[in-house]
Each structure stands twice: as C-alpha cells, then as structure tokens.
Structure 1
Amino acid sequence: MKRYNFDEDHNMFRDSFRAFLQQEVVPHREEWREAGIVPREVYLKAGEMGFLIPQAPESLGGLAIDDFRFQQIISEEIGLCGETGFMPQLHSTIVAPYIMNNGSDFLKEKYIPKAITGEYILGVAMTEPDAGSDLAGMRATAVDNGDHYVLNGNKTYISNGICGDVFVVAARTDPTVPHAISLFVVEANWEGFKRGAHLKKMGMKSQDTAELFFDNVKVPKENLIGVEGQGFKYLMGGLAEERLICAIWNVGTAEYAFNLTKEFVQDRKVFGKPLSAMQNTQFKMAELRARLDMAIAYTDTLVANTNRGDHDSIGASQAKLLTSELLCDVADEGVQLHGGAGYMEEYPISQVFADARITRIFAGTSEIMKLIIARAIFSE
C-alpha cells in the first residue's frame, strides 16, 4: 500500500535505522535468544546514532524531534525485521515520557541525558503478582519519612528487569484511597533494590523480564514524579501513546510474518505446483493483506492525530486490540501454511507465533481494550 504521510527526512531516518538494525541487531539474534538478554552495547550504539529518545530537547542531548512519525518508524522497523529483544520503543516512547512530561527539571537533567546515550536503560515497574491491568489493586507502598520515602513491595513481569538501570516505579502513598498512586524514579543500585528471577517465557526470549523487590528502599523526595497521589493520572495519560506504539509494532511484526509466509508458499511445491497457486492459499493471504493494509491506514491516522495534539485513548485501545489479534492471526495462518516446517524452531514463523501471543496481554489485555471501547460507546 502506498503511504503518503512520510517525507524525505522520514525516509532517510528509516533507511538509517534499518541499516543499524541489519548491522547491529539481526546478525546477533540467535545468541541473544540463547543468553536471554540483549547486551548493553547495542543501547550505547543506538544512543550514538541518535535513535534513543529522539523527541528529547537539545538541552538534554536529544534531537528535539517533535514528530511522532519518527517514533513510529522506529517501532515499525523493529517489527519489520522480526526483533523482539532490543525494544528501544519501551525505553524511548513508553518510559522516558513519564519523566519528560511530568518530572521536575532535576529529574530530567539527572536521568534523561544518560538515557539518550544508552548509559541508562529504562524500565517501568507497575505490574504486581495480584495487580496487572487492575492498578487499584496495587500493594507496593511508599511512606513519607521526612526527606525521603520508604518504598516496599514487589513487581513482576518487568521488561528490562535484568538490564535496566533506572525504573519508573508505581506505589501507593495513601493506602486508604484506591487510586492514590505515585510514581518515583528509582535506581537499581540503591540499597534494598533487588532483582528476582530472570523469568523464562513462551516467547520474546531475548527481552529480559524479571521480578523486582523493594525492601525499605530510601527514595529521595526529589525523585517523586510530579505531584504525590497523581500517578494514576500520569499512567492513564501515557497509555494512549503506549498502546499506539504497541499497535504500530504489532503491524510491523505482522508484515514480517506475512512476508515470511509469502516467500515460503511461493517456494514450496505441492502436487507439482507452488503452494501459492492453490486457491485456499491465495484466499488466506488476500484476507490477511486486506486486514494489514487497513491496520496500517488506521495507525497512520492515529499518528497524524497525535502530531496534532489529539492523544486518542479510545482509538489507541481499538488499534491495540485489533492489531494484536491481527498479528496472532497472521502468525497462526503462517504456521499453518508452512505445514510441519512451521512448527520447527529453525523457521522464523514459529518464533513469531510464540512471540506474538503476549501482545494480547501486555499494555492492557484485549478484554480491557474491549471494556474501554464499550464504555465509550455507551457513555455517548
């Protein structure tokens, strides 16, 4: 599908980032999967090239690119090459904005410059064993103790949990109020901060995921993000872009899976003809192609609206819902059309299938997306 929303600067940026991925990421994918983690060096190299937090102001070391299309390109290209370990969009588009949009000048100046260079790898710690999408069920607490807060609790399923240096941590500051949550910037080297198990997962094996424990961690008052008790508002404010960037990555990865399958069915012979000559194959691929192009058009529209200042949380929820289902469908049909080969790990489509499943869960489950959309329908 021809796309008209990118100009020469965008295309040059895309070419540069794609070349970076092909040189620094794709050749190392298997060793990273075996290790269960991406090396720090790749973040440092990305930082040198200006690929981390490009929206940050020049005063902090960023490129001051106030155009969400550049972040869209990064997320798309990560998906288009099938990468699920090195996830700079988590670092740049999901975590960094909590500090940049709501944090004090002190927090921005202390943490953002080193996050731009890749010296600090960022993560966000919200999910708990008994509180995922239901943030009101959060149990971690941060108690005011004069010149600092005392943070206690544990988090689980935290991306960048092993390699991360700095985390945005959500905790209750008033246990009597369900949504009185505050956000803090916490350094992994502080006393009382402990990493738990390096969790083994169905897919996305090179994206390190861990439990985090906070045992009487002293958090300086200046490391509170924004206003105490307003963390829930900040989290909700960031979810539109988080879900949109997830949707963009879903579409890029679905395109990658589609291309893997297209190549396979053209090469595979069945009854003396290419599998692609079979009507069933053609119909399956035609349906997926139509859905892919519709998803691309919708996410492009949401990105354009974001650039106009319209952070559409309902639209982002719809995009996240439909693209995660689309990705899982493309991966599933891809495995089916590969036949027995699709079940073998040596074929990339099998890895896409395993990696894709989490997209219907993270950043809000498909059920939560439906609930948000339904509420919007019936509140009109």
Structure 2
Amino acid sequence: MTVVAPITAFDPTEIERISADMLSPLVRKIDEDRVYAEDVMRAYGAAGAYGTHVGGIDGNTDLSSAILSMARTSEECLSTGFCVWCQDTLAWYIASSDNDFLKAEILPKVVRGEALGGTGMSNPMKAIGEIEPMRLKGERVEGGYKVKGLLPWVSNLVEDGYFGTMFHVDVEGSDTPKRVMAIIHADWDGVRLKLDHEFVAMGGTATCNVQFRDVFVPDNFLLGDPAGSFVQRIRPGFTLLQCGMAAGIIKNCIELMKQVEAPLGHVNQYLEKQPADLEAEYEALVAEVLEMAKTPYDLSDEFYLRVLKARLKGGELAVEAAHWAMLHCGARGYVTHGVAQRRLREAYFVAIVTPATKHLRKLIAELEG
C-alpha cells in the first residue's frame, strides 16, 4: 500500500523570500561562526520545499522543484543548500520505501520541516563501493535490531532529529554479512551526538559524529532488510538531488564574474574563461538534470550512468566556476569577507561529498567496463 504524506503547498515565491530576506543576511555568520540556520530550514518546510518529490514509486514523482529550490538556497549559501539536500534525502528515503508506518508517522513531519534530519549514508555508500568498512554493526533481537558503532558525519542533525543509515548483520553460515537500512531517531536511548565542524567551510551544517551504544532499532523503522534492492531504488534520486547544490553555486559564481565586468572587464577579457563560456555549460547541465528528474525511479544501468555523469559534471563545473570567479574578482575576492573565497571553499565540498569525484569515476568505470 502507498501512503501519501500530507504535503504543504509548494510556494516558490515564499522560497525566494526566505532565501533573499532570511538566509542571505545570515551567510557570513553561518560561514564564520558555524551557525546552523535552523529557522531558515523550518521556514523552507512551511513553504513546501521538502514536499514536491515524495509521491513514491507509484506516484508521478518529479525531482525538478526540489532541485531548483535547493539551487536557489545554494546560490546564497552552500551550507544551507546542503542541509536542504539532507532534508530532501531523508524524505526521499521514507517516500521511496514500502514502510507505511514511517510514511504516516514521520514523513509528514519531515515534509513540513517540523522534524529535521539527514542522511547517514556517507559511510555505507563508501562501504558498498568497497572504499571503507561499514562502521555500524547490528544484531537481531526480538522486535528489531541492536546496533553499535560510531558513524561519522551525519549532517542537518539536531537532538530530536531523524536520519537514515545502514548496518551490517552477521548471517549464520555465511562469510558475507547482510546490509540493513533503517531510519534512526537521534533521541533514542544509546544514541550520542557530537558536533564535528572542523572543516574549511560548511561549518553551519549541524554535522555530527553519532555513537551507537546498543541502540534498539525497531522493525517499524526499517527501510530495507536486506537493503540491496532498496539502495538500487533510491540511488538515482539520492545522487541527482545533489545537482541542486552544484547548480546554485555555479550560477552564483557566474554572477560574481559578471559583477566585476564594469571595473575589471578591460583586463579580465584576457582570462581564458568568461561568464558566457561557463553559462553555456551550466545551462546544458541544468537541462540534462531536469530531464532526468522526471523519471527518478528508472532503475536501468543506462539511466544511472547518465545520473553519475551529470553529478560528476556538476562537481567539476562548481570547482571550475569558483576558480574563475576568484580570478575575475581578484584581490577583492581574496579578502577575509570576500564572497569569491567563500564560494571556492564551498565548491570543493560539492566535489568531495559522497559520492566524491573519485567515487563517481569509479562507479562510472564499473558501469562502462
């Protein structure tokens, strides 16, 4: 049975107002003081930003509005744009599942921004790709699983928040453990959060290391047991949604280049890349992403390969656009409060957040091989 969450009406005008009037004045404080823009995140929920892509596998699901809303946020601040992706992805997990309890009890709160949270899948995705070991281990008990371990870097996470993650469970008679994916409530017994903001950017993202001390995960919070087919279902959308972050920062970097055309155009004309060059690549990328956003549950290898290539292009173009924005702005972008230097620091995050550039290239090589 498909349970559709009550969805707050999507209001793009209100999302624009929140971005320009609430978020923009906070950007320096978010970057320099590592402030988490919780009020902004909840306001986006009230404006319907997190509810446009939760129709589920049986619905007419389109990621376009979610991606464009995230892009608008990321034009101002990538820390908050990333938090929007975390919230969107949490909703994506639940909406894509067959778990009617989570759809009825948790998803509406996530969609409305009443419950905040994210995706604890950085380590599991890398574990699936044989890049690093799985950090969480579960044991079957009556009514669910008992889980222990230390999960690094779960973002957009507050004390009463939720996040999705995965753990290994030993299987009797097999050398290969099974993977189980679940939604975790940060307020459960045995869950401990510790803020981890030692980054050159992205400090205002409520990023935590999460310790599990024999945490009981009940069966009604499971997304996939085993998780293999569920991961295949969610991975195109998981990856495609990240392109909203890339699109927003690329667009803003192009705008920064245009802003200095009057005072510096006479010398910037000798730089190899001009705003029009990057704009053409940006428009082609956005067109490709929005076309794929119409069919996020296409599980073919051909579609996933297109998604991976678009995501790779987004990360690489974000770094390139930020690089050229810095050179066009010159010294005025290199000062402590310069926007260009912040955007350069933020752009590298798009290229290293899971799946990172090297991970994407690995996945592409495997699919093409």
- TM-score normalised by the chain length of structure 2: 0.85
Matched, 1:365 2:356: yes
- Which has the larger displacement, 235-244 or 146-155? 235-244
* Shift in alpha-carbon separation, 1:312–1:256, aligned structure 2, 3 A: same
Q: 1:243-277 CA deviation, whole Å, 9 max, x = no partner? A: 21212320221110111122023233xxxxxx356
Alignment match, 1:265: 261
Q: Indicate which of 107, 113, 138 corresponds to 2:108.
A: 113
Q: Indicate which of 52, 55, 72 corresponds to 2:53.
A: 55
Q: Indicate which of 207, 210, 230 corresponds to 2:208.
A: 210
Q: Indicate which of 298, 303, 310 corresponds to 2:293.
A: 303
Q: What is the identity, as a one-letter code, of the residue corresponding to 2:365?
A: A
* Shift in alpha-carbon separation, 1:150–1:177, aligned structure 2, 3 A: same
* Shift in alpha-carbon separation, 1:377–1:130, aligned structure 2, 3 A: closer
Q: What is the identity, as a one-letter code, of the residue corresponding to 2:236?
A: A
Alignment match, 1:9: none
SS at match of 1:212: strand
SS at match of 1:85: helix
Quote the Cα distance in structure 2 between the aligned partners of 1:103 and 1:308.
17
Assess if the C-alpha contact under 8 Å between 1:136 and 1:179 holds in 2. no
- Which has the larger displacement, 150-159 or 281-290? 281-290
Matched, 1:289 2:289: no
SS at match of 2:215: strand
Q: 1:292-333 CA deviation, whole Å, 9 max, x = no partner? A: 232223223322444989892111100111111111011111
Assess if the C-alpha contact under 8 Å between 2:154 and 2:208 holds in 1. yes
Q: Superposed, which structure 2 residues align to 1:249-260 within 5 Å?
A: 249-260=245-256
Q: What is the identity, as a one-letter code, of the residue corresponding to 2:43?
A: K
Matched, 1:42 2:40: yes
> How many angstroms does 1:92 deviate by?
4.2
Matched, 1:78 2:69: no
Q: Indicate which of 259, 263, 269 corresponds to 1:279.
A: 269
RMSD: 2.9
Q: What is the identity, as a one-letter code, of the residue corresponding to 1:26?
A: S
* Shift in alpha-carbon separation, 1:179–1:205, aligned structure 2, 3 A: same
Assess if the C-alpha contact under 8 Å between 2:87 and 2:118 holds in 1. no
Q: Percent identity?
A: 17
Structure 1: gaps of 5 or more residues: 1-11, 269-274
Q: 1:36-86 CA deviation, whole Å, 9 max, x = no partner? A: 2324322332222222223346xx9xxx98432211221221223344225
Matched, 1:320 2:320: no
Q: Indicate which of 323, 328, 341 corresponds to 2:332.
A: 341
Assess if the C-alpha contact under 8 Å between 2:121 and 2:165 holds in 1. yes
Assess if the C-alpha contact under 8 Å between 1:107 and 1:222 holds in 2. yes
Alignment match, 2:6: none
Alignment match, 2:236: 240
SS at match of 2:17: helix
Quote the Cα distance in structure 1 between the aligned partners of 2:314 and 2:160.
28
Quote the Cα distance in structure 2 between the aligned partners of 1:31 and 1:324.
25
Aligned residue pairs, count:
354
Quote the Cα distance in structure 1 between the aligned partners of 2:267 and 2:20.
32
Assess if the C-alpha contact under 8 Å between 2:63 and 2:296 holds in 1. yes
* Shift in alpha-carbon separation, 1:26–1:252, aligned structure 2, 3 A: same
> How many angstroms does 1:207 deviate by?
1.5
Q: What is the identity, as a one-letter code, of the residue corresponding to 2:136?
A: A
Q: Superposed, which structure 2 residues align to 1:137-152 within 5 Å?
A: 137-152=133-148
Alignment match, 1:223: 221
> How many angstroms does 1:351 deviate by?
0.4
> How many angstroms does 1:206 deviate by?
1.3
Matched, 1:156 2:152: yes
Quote the Cα distance in structure 2 between the aligned partners of 1:243 and 1:198.
24
Structure 2: gaps of 5 or more residues: 1-9
Q: What is the identity, as a one-letter code, of the residue corresponding to 1:170?
A: M
Quote the Cα distance in structure 1 between the aligned partners of 2:246 and 2:125.
27
* Shift in alpha-carbon separation, 1:279–1:124, aligned structure 2, 3 A: closer
> How many angstroms does 1:241 deviate by?
1.3
